[in-house]
């Protein structure tokens, strides 16, 4: 893909699901990848898959609620590969499906700290390095819950907030040559969704039947969009929440 070859990417939440597939896709397109996750076993598996296919990847354990971890993630890209061109700030947690008044403050704080403040911490570490080298591209993971009333209140608030960060960053740093966009996945066949499906098969069948595409999304569906958004092929796409949901919100 135009502009990805020989670049350097960091991907958070890359130990499984969407993050793993994005890391693999970056490597397939010729980028060196820093695989970041709190899950060391999953992160090592992602690196192994990339290396087995002849790609370049390094794992670094990263908790996005820890600013020092996030700084170390970016420093790993600089130390191992000499720069930072692309970032997919993807790490996040799912909601519990509860109503606004039915969860306590600690649950709210955890959701915001990981899903929203975690993205902010990553941006804060990534942006100065991209400014230093003259530009780059960053994609943040939001959700269909970031552009609709899907999901519980704290999850929806966190994902709406990611879009707000993405848009503000676009305005703040366009002159520095950095592009920002967000992906808004629908129901994607990831380990989290697979667990939910096992817990409530009938509900998941109903959800799948409600999707115009007739299937759940795949991590590859999201990964291909993320890498495209980082490529030169999307050079005029800036500050956009890109919905990838099989037509779910079109109804």
CA distance 231 to 46: 22
Signed CA dihedral, 114, 115, 117, 120: sign only: positive
Looking at 1.10.260.40, 3.40.50.720, 3.90.25.10, 3.60.15.10, the CATH number of the domain 8-245 comes to 3.40.50.720
Sequence spans of domains, the chain: 8-245
> Which stretches of the chain drop beneath a pLDDT of 70?
194-200
**pLDDT confidence of residue 196:** 57
Contact of 37 with 92, CB cutoff 8 Å = no
**pLDDT confidence of residue 213:** 95
**pLDDT confidence of residue 199:** 63
Name the β-bridge partners of 18. none
Contact of 169 with 241, CB cutoff 8 Å = no
**pLDDT confidence of residue 195:** 66
φ, ψ at 11 (rounded to 5°): -135, 120
Active site residues: 155
Contact of 183 with 141, CB cutoff 8 Å = yes
Hey, is 3 helix, strand or coil? Answer: coil
């Amino acid at each position: 893909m135009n502009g990805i070859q020989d670049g350097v990417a960091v991907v958070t939440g890359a130990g499984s699901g969407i993050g793993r597939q994005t890391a693999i896709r970056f490597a397939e397109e010729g980028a060196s990848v820093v695989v970041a996750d709190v899950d060391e076993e999953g992160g090592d598996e992602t690196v192994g898959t990339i290396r087995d296919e002849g790609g370049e990847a390094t794992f670094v354990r990263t908790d996005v609620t820890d600013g020092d971890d996030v700084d170390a993630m970016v420093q790993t890209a600089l130390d191992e590969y000499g720069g930072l061109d692309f970032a997919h700030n993807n790490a996040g947690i799912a909601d519990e499906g509860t109503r606004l008044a039915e969860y306590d403050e600690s649950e709210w704080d955890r959701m915001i700290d990981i899903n929203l403040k975690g993205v902010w911490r990553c941006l804060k570490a990534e942006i100065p390095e991209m400014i230093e080298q003259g530009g780059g591209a960053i994609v943040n993971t939001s959700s269909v819950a970031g552009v609709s009333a899907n999901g519980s209140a704290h999850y929806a608030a966190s994902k709406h907030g990611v879009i707000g960060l993405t848009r503000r960053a676009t305005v703040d740093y366009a002159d520095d040559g950095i592009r920002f966009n967000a992906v808004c996945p629908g129901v994607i066949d990831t380990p989290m969704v697979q667990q939910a499906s096992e817990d409530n098969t009938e509900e998941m069948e109903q959800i799948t039947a409600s999707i115009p595409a007739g299937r759940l999304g795949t991590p590859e569906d999201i990964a291909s969009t993320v890498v495209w958004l980082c490529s030169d092929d999307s050079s005029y796409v800036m500050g956009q929440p890109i919905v990838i949901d099989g037509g779910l919100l079109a109804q």
